[in-house]
Amino acid sequence: MKYILIIIAAVLILTLTVPNLFAEGVDTKIEGTGKNKVEQTQPVVKGLPKGFASKETRKVKVATPKGIQEKEIIYYKNSLGMEFVEIPAGEFMMGSPSNEKDRSREEGPQHKVIITKSFYMASTEVTQKQYRAIMGKHSSKFKGKNKPVEQESWNEAVEFCKKLSQRDGVTYRLPTEAEWEYSCRAGTTTPFYTGNTISTEQANYNGNYTYGNGRKGTYRKKTISVGSYPANAFGLYDMHGNVWEFCQDWYGKYSSATATDASGPRSGSYRVSRGGGWFDDPGGCRSACRAGSTTSYRSSDLGFRLLRIK
């Protein structure tokens, strides 16, 4: 009886002092020592990839060259409430054909890109609420918790990725330019995932200008809440317009050769951004359109979205 009481007491002490040993579904990792010690406690939810707290399958409206359709999309949610979609491996033609309206030479030559591994892409641009939760503050011009964060530099976007990665115990980063265009196109070969033209009922851009046989629309002169328009066929929102989105790559010239898991040049002066913004005409929001800026540059039409490695 005495030995049984001793064992029970020992178990109680361990439970009180080392609770994570008895907490089912918790993966704890401690790195470093002293001031540099970082404790990462990541809930493990049965049936979900590590780092995701929940998943939901829902029917959403998607914009395609054939018009608006309904499609079932699985959305995974992380600890910050950010939703991600799994993007399958595959291949596509990157860049634009020589006869595409508003095309620049920097969009060619068109070349085949092979994406060998699937990944998770955030369904929307990072919002001001999400950015503030990790970084403590933001500098956005157009205030609104569900509007995209803007006026933060590429360097700050990378720092956000690092901090969220540390918090969740998984790897977040900016997408490569190839991953971004592949995700934007969602299987299409037209200038937009909406088809050969686009309207201000499908994206937030300067509606005083038109593309192809499109018509003039609304010029809002500001960002709007993310997810306000139909998604693309992958379930991603606002890949055209609202704000330009930082990519991981340095800006560089394309090669005509087939590229596998392309990641751009090793060095450069500017980082790539994609997608166009509220200030741009529709031609600047095309799937193949490219821009670049220094790593410290800030603008009210420049934000970012996250990629999460599987």
Any idea where the domains of the chain sit in the sequence?
Answer: 1-44, 53-308
Query: Could you give phi then psi for residue 195, rounded to 5 degrees?
Result: 125, -145
For residues 209 and 199, what is the distance between their CA atoms, to the nearest angstrom? 10
The 10 Å Cβ neighbour count of residue 261 is: 13
| The pLDDT value given to residue 220 | 98
**Strands 259-260 and 111-115, sheet pairing:** parallel
**3-state secondary structure at position 196:** coil
- Encoding tokens for residue 227? 């997810």
Q: 214 pairs with which residues across the strands?
A: none
List of E strands, the chain = 26-31, 38-43, 52-64, 67-78, 83-87, 90-94, 111-115, 119-122, 172-173, 244-250, 259-260, 271-274, 290-293, 302-303, 307-308
Angle at which helices 154-168 and 128-135 pack, to 10 degrees? 70
Q: Which of helix, strand or coil describes residue 165?
A: helix
Burial class (CB in 10 A: 0-12, 13-18, 19+), 10: exposed
Task: Compute the Cα dihedral for 45, 50, 52, 57 and give only its sign.
Answer: negative
Residue 134 bridge partners (DSSP): none
pTM: 0.86
- The angle at the Cα of 200, spanning 196 to 202, to the nearest 5 degrees, equals 65
- Write the single-letter amino acid at 245: E
Handedness of CA 54, 245, 242, 117 (dihedral sign): negative
> What amino acid occupies position 91?
E
Alpha helices in the chain (DSSP H): 2-17, 128-135, 154-168, 177-185
Q: What is the pLDDT along the chain (310 residues), one digit of tens a residue?
A: 433 333 334 433 333 333 333 233 434 333 333 333 333 445 556 789 999 999 999 999 999 999 999 999 999 999 999 999 999 999 999 999 999 999 999 999 999 999 999 999 999 999 999 999 999 999 999 999 999 999 999 999 999 999 999 999 999 999 999 999 999 999 999 999 999 999 999 999 999 999 999 999 999 999 999 999 999 999 999 999 999 999 999 999 999 999 999 999 999 999 999 999 999 999 999 999 999 999 999 999 999 999 999 9
From 31, 12, 15, select the one nearest 23 (Cα to Cα).
Answer: 15
For residue 49, how far is the Cα from the chain centroid? 18
Task: Write the burial class of residue 194 (CB in 10 Å: 0-12 exposed, 13-18 middle, 19+ buried).
Answer: buried
CATH node for 53-308: 3.90.1580.10
d(CA 262, CA 66): 30
- CA 139 to chain CA centroid, nearest Å: 20
DSSP label at residue 33 = S
What's the pLDDT score for residue 47?
Answer: 83
